Amino acid sequence: KCRTGPLDIVFVIDSSRSVRPFEFETMRRFMMDIISNLDVGPNATRVGVIQYSSQVQNIFSLKTFFTRADMERAINSIVPLAQGTMTGLAIQYAMNVAFSTQEGARAPHKGIPRIAIIVTDGRPQDRVTEVATQARNAGIEIYAVGIQRADMSSLRAMASPPLEEHVFLVESFELIQQFAKQFQDKLCGVDMCVEREHGCQHSCISTPGSFYCECNPGYRLNGDGKTCSPIDACADGRHGCQHHCVSLRGSYSCRCRPGYYLSHNRKSCTMIDYCSFGNHSCQHECVSIPNGHYCRCRSGFTLQPDGKSCRATDLCNGVDHGCEFKCVSTEGTYHCVCPEGQQLQADGKTCSKCGAGHVDLVMVIDGSKSVRPQNFELVKQFVNRVVDLLEVSPQGTRVGLVQYSSRVRTEFPLNKYHSADEIKKAVMDVEYMEKGTMTGLALKHMVEHSFSELEGARPLSHNIPRIGLVFTDGRSQDDISEWARRAKESGIVMFAVGVGKAVEEELRAIASEPVEQHFSYSADFTTMTHLVENFSLNICPEEGKGKTEIRSPCECEALVQFQTNTVAILQSLTEKNILWARSLAQMTARLEDLEKQIANKK
């Protein structure tokens, strides 16, 4: 066998139509004879085969097979292309593709010879001189083997120098097998690893006229080119170990710090859960730490000297609670309380004697088509005059607005705006809905949504009065009784204002007790003077008439202030409407007088 060093050999076989079938079989035999005497393998000689005619076909590349048996099976399965003779195209493919590192060729710095064996029987149909020169300059040694009709000048143009060692012309296909042995002698040379004292610590690789040393896996070649050192796989920092990297021969392993164990991915570390052993005896919570555990109590409890049991903590004595009147400690927490008749403020700490007129007010206005646009503007003015007299703020009075017709629409909830100016602007931007009068549906929406804490109503425990003011001008097209009752049962103080065709029975059903103090009616929008009289009654027992149950002095004071402000607004709007009515009457009288004068002249 040929004991030369490793080679990268690519056979470039002519399978044009001039090569008859039995002649192509001889070429197969030629390739297999040469391969049979080579030391093939991934670290020895690698072999690839391409065939060409008018196109190039890769049979197998340098990285495909590493045994003679596999190579012979692939060669026996070749089907000739039987077309033209594009030899230059085949050389181009060999240079750019077959001898690329992607296809299995060893890197140039390793010094492994690259050999192309071109076997052809005719004259090329394309240019070969330039492309062959490029291939030789790229480090490819070209042997040109011509058979029978091959053009000698083309063979010489393709082959590497010296031409007498790289150009061969065989008279017939029958003689090519005999030629194979002579060609084999050209490839084989002296095994320099055997003939010389190479000094390689691990492996010696022979090349034509020289040799080089290689190291076993897990080692790298030292600067002397002969000895080998173990590779520190941890040194490059790419090991991915979470805690420690331990270098082995050419490899590494990960290890964890005490109190951790290596996870399934063999890189990350997980802390040992000592609490899961079930022997911690902690009364409340067990907390694992590296190399052990400790006990922890829930909020509001203190860990006892035994390090395991817990006892409730009086937070009122242990923290700066800030309560103005009194701190009440409960398990794990505390809360502030105020004296009877005073209410806890939004900060949860300070107390106030009364809400200073602060209420949660939702106005529900009728936007049905019977109201008409000009009257709807009067309603909006009424709403804004109410807002002008309120102390609007997140901690003071909050205002929400709902409009309804055949459907209900929240114009803005209680927590939408935090100043009077914002609310007034939003009111003026409200668009008139028109259509039907579904008062019952509006009351349902007010109870379920408008006075919910989600939309800004303060909790009932804060004793902030909830006031609903319903403004309508006609009979409801749905039942109002159930949701009017539910509104009052839920603690909402209901005022009902009716205009025009509003039904007194429905207004009374909406209004809170005493009814006479909580509903008003006017024949039209321009004659609402008597509404002032209806609002003049005070809802507090000591100042009004009848018996009224008031939940707290703060609620009474807030409702009185709201009622007083509302009365003032209605009075102002009524006065304006009276002036408009007087002006209209005067203009009508003048027109009648003018008509009489014209008639008399006739």
CATH classification of the domain holding 346: 2.10.25.10
Q: Are 521 and 471 in contact (CB under 8 A)?
A: no
Residue 206 lies in a domain: no
Lowest mean pLDDT among 239-248, 282-291, 482-491, 545-554: 545-554
CATH number at residue 21: 3.40.50.410
Q: Looking at residue 577, what is its pLDDT?
A: 57
Lowest mean pLDDT among 38-42, 62-66, 334-338, 547-551: 547-551
Same domain, 367 and 472: yes
Dihedral sign of CA atoms 41, 45, 51, 56 in order: positive
Taking 70 as the threshold, does the pLDDT of residue 448 lie above it? yes
Of 539, 556, 574, the position where a domain reaches its end is 539
Q: How far apart (Å, rounded) are the C-alpha atoms in residues 447 and 443?
A: 6
Q: How far apart (Å, rounded) are the C-alpha atoms in residues 59 and 72?
A: 11
Q: Domain total for the chain?
A: 4
Same domain, 504 and 471: yes
* Structure tokens given for 594: 């003018």
Lowest mean pLDDT among 203-212, 443-452, 461-470: 203-212
Q: Looking at residue 280, what is its pLDDT?
A: 86
Q: Looking at residue 563, what is its pLDDT?
A: 64
User: Which of 184-198, 242-256, 393-407: highest mean pLDDT?
Assistant: 393-407
Same domain, 308 and 368: no
Give me the percent of the chain exceeding a pLDDT of 70. 80
Residue 552 lies in a domain: no
Give the full edge-to-edge strand order of the sheet including 56-60: 56-60, 46-52, 8-14, 114-120, 140-147, 167-170
Distances (CA, A) of 243 to 158, 233, 489: 60, 15, 66
3-state secondary structure of 35: helix
DSSP code string of 134-197: HHHHTTEEEEEEEETT--HHHHHHHSPSSHHHHEEEES-GGGHHHHHHHHHHHH----HHHHS-
317 band by pLDDT with thresholds 50, 70 and 90 = confident
Mean pLDDT, the chain, rounded, equals 83
Same domain, 402 and 503: yes
Helix axes 553-601, 373-388, angle to 10 degrees: 140
Of 312, 338, 369, the position where a domain reaches its end is 312
Q: What is the pLDDT averaged over residues 106-130?
A: 91
Q: How far apart are the first and last CA of the chain?
A: 146
Structural domain for 500, as ranges: 360-539
Q: DSSP secondary-structure letter at 280?
A: -
Q: Which residue has the tokens 């077959």?
A: 98
Angle, CA of 238, 243 and 249, to the nearest 5°: 55
Q: Looking at residue 419, what is its pLDDT?
A: 92
Same domain, 147 and 19: yes
Residue 535 lies in a domain: yes
Residue 461 lies in a domain: yes
Q: Looking at residue 115, what is its pLDDT?
A: 92
Lowest mean pLDDT among 78-92, 286-300, 445-459, 578-592: 578-592
Distances (CA, A) of 261 to 233, 271, 274, 302: 22, 6, 12, 33
Q: Looking at residue 186, what is its pLDDT?
A: 59
Q: What is the pLDDT averaged over residues 342-355?
A: 72
Same domain, 29 and 135: yes
Residue 597 lies in a domain: no
Same domain, 287 and 404: no
Same domain, 342 and 450: no
138 band by pLDDT with thresholds 50, 70 and 90 = very high
Q: Looking at residue 224, what is its pLDDT?
A: 93
Same domain, 292 and 365: no
72 band by pLDDT with thresholds 50, 70 and 90 = very high
Residue 92 lies in a domain: yes
Q: What is the pLDDT averaged over residues 335-345?
A: 76
Of 312, 339, 373, the position where a domain reaches its end is 312
562 band by pLDDT with thresholds 50, 70 and 90 = low
pLDDT tens, residue by residue, 503-530: 888 899 999 988 888 888 776 665 543 4
Same domain, 14 and 78: yes
Q: How far apart (Å, rounded) are the C-alpha atoms in residues 195 and 198?
A: 9
Same domain, 22 and 41: yes
Residue 242 lies in a domain: no
Burial class (CB in 10 A: 0-12, 13-18, 19+), 595: exposed
Lowest mean pLDDT among 46-60, 225-239, 331-345: 331-345
Lowest mean pLDDT among 202-211, 284-293, 556-565: 556-565
Lowest mean pLDDT among 54-63, 309-318, 387-396: 309-318
Q: Are 358 and 558 in contact (CB under 8 A)?
A: yes
User: What is the torsion angle, in degrees rounded to the nearest 10, for the CA atoms of residue 148, residue 149, residue 152 and residue 157?
Assistant: -110
User: Which of 168-177, 181-190, 196-205: highest mean pLDDT?
Assistant: 196-205
Give me the percent of the chain exceeding a pLDDT of 90. 42
Burial class (CB in 10 A: 0-12, 13-18, 19+), 132: buried
* Structure tokens given for 566: 């509302």
Q: Looking at residue 89, what is its pLDDT?
A: 97
Same domain, 165 and 306: no
Q: Looking at residue 547, what is its pLDDT?
A: 40
Residue 562 lies in a domain: no
Lowest mean pLDDT among 209-223, 462-476, 581-595: 581-595
